[in-house]
Structure 1
Amino acid sequence: MSDFLKLGKNTSGRDFIVGDIHFKMPDFFYGLNALNFNPTRDRILSVGDLVDRGPDPASGLKLLDQPWFHMVMGNHEQMLIQAYDNDPYGSSPARGAAWWDLIDERSRYQIVQRLKSLPIAIELEAEQGLIGIVHADVPIGMGWSDFKNDIVNDETKHYALWGQERVRDAIVSGVHEVWRVCAGHTKVQAPLRLGNYLALDCTGGNEGALAFYAVKEDRIYSFDKSFEGEEWDGSLSPISSCNTLRS
């Protein structure tokens, strides 16, 4: 697969963009249930960092083969690939990667080959306009078109996987030539809007609620299975609409 993937408009269902999952599968599936997710017509798009830290690697890895699940590469996927290429029998240097030491040789190869096929960025067509999905960020001052054309360059690719300047410095200029950009990587206490850029990693793979951006509604919902003591009543309470997110 190339570094860039374009997905057409979902004409039969809904699209949701989820923050860094990090194997927090109980929260992920709880969120799908609460959103009444229908795998026959709805889609999930992930900002990357599916692997490491969380409690359920087996279920997490199965997402890679689901036709309704699409994701970009995160820095944790990149670190795992690099570690395997350096030593197929070694450990991953990433935090929370102890699960990798339990994976047999054949499965390691299959997992890495699947991760290598992930794009660096996804462009999603939506009713409101184009949505860019990247793990960390688009270089500051670079428009979406230039980013797509430049993504083959190592420096741009590195920024897409590791960049934190926009969130760290609260840069609100946004990304031109696209309606929304959804990303993760840099942990925030609550979903954060900086111009048209949405920061969705509210857990870092640890405590916190997993964020789902509902594209058609232009709203973000958060789910944390640790709060399931009260039975879910079938209602949804958005934490905020995108035009009132903290910025």
Structure 2
Amino acid sequence: MDPQARSCLSALLEAYRRCDSYRDRALQTTVFVAGSKPWQRRTKLLEISTAARRPHRLRFAFAELGVGPRTEWPRALLAIDAQAARAWTTHDGAQRFSSAHEALGALAGPSGTAAVLAPALWGGLYADVDDFARRNLGEPRHAGRELVEGRDCDHLCGTTASGHEVELWIERHSGLLARIVRRTRRDPAKTAGALQRRLQELRAAGRPGAELGAHARAAEHFEATATTFDAESSTVFYGAFDAAVPDAELAFDPPV
């Protein structure tokens, strides 16, 4: 691995592991392109928020911005404490998970994958720098220094094993995640096969029913709606370490 990239990722993981609390707001913009015509493009916006406090409290939420009242927007909520990992989505309703890893995995797809990166970092779900790189960047390289809305950042680039081109910006003075860009080309046949293989692996491993159900529904939905398209998502994070995080910001409070 590029030594500079390794140093930056090491600082990122250490910053999230050593903080007592973390909070952020983020905005994710994803553009789907199915052809050359303007009407063959679709843009999706997600509002994302994370609040976390040691030793084990975390709340993660996102909502897809729509043109109607906020109550109509597709959204999801995840809350983790010492007793449970609970989630609620407008698609699946209330769910319980056996671990933070399982819960974040279930919400990774609907939230565009990049959105759950900060909660996963805070929760220490990556074993080390190599594990983080393998799962998010492939073989990363340091691409220089850049400003992200005035913040001095290290810029890393990589391509994952599944073909996603990923760029990552990390604040130099704090280690905070500043921005992620992911580019991909969706191949329906390839993705459907991967989803089915993953479902078989989960069944063979005896994973809980809630996780199996979430993956099965994702596979069914994909097969019913799959099209070929290019996609690019950009997620900009506005985070802070060791800020006050009151209990109210950590509550599991679905609207129903």
TM-score (structure 1 length as normaliser)? 0.27
TM-score (structure 2 length as normaliser)? 0.26
For the pair shown, the structure with the greater C-alpha radius of gyration is 2
Between structures 1 and 2, the one with greater strand share: 2
